[in-house]
Amino acid sequence: MIQIIDGAPEGVLAFKAVGEVGAKDYEDVLKPAFERALAGGRRIRLVLEIGPEYGGSSGGVALGDLGVVLPHLSKCERCAVVTDRDWVERAVKGFGWMMGRRLRVFAVDQQAAAMAWAAAG
């Protein structure tokens, strides 16, 4: 599931992948949050934590589902990915060229720094 991280700075959308993530999580959590932020006329500042609690995806959904995330990348002012998983860091850096310096990877123990960086945008 995808959970909202409480205590995120004003203007920052913060989520954590916990257990198994499915299409319903994207539809019920990520998509509405993105739409609300964009309807308010602001650019998205995103923090996504993929830590040790993440247990994979189901229903043919890959974390970072292109149908939800890609249409909004151009509207992201800053995107911080918080993870200690090497494969996630490599994947993020693999498509990170699309966002340039607006995308950074932080270790799980640096979540507060990721929030502050995203908020500073």
DSSP symbol at 61: P
The architecture that CATH gives domain 2-119 is 2-Layer Sandwich (3.30)
Q: Across all residues in the chain, what is the average pLDDT?
A: 82
d(CA 18, CA 4): 10
Q: For tokens 């609300």, name the residue.
A: 36
Cβ neighbourhood burial of 85 (10 Å; 0-12, 13-18, 19+): middle
Residue range 17-55, pLDDT digits in tens: 898 888 788 888 888 888 888 887 778 899 999 888 887
- C-alpha neighbours within 13 Å on the C-beta side of residue 102: 16
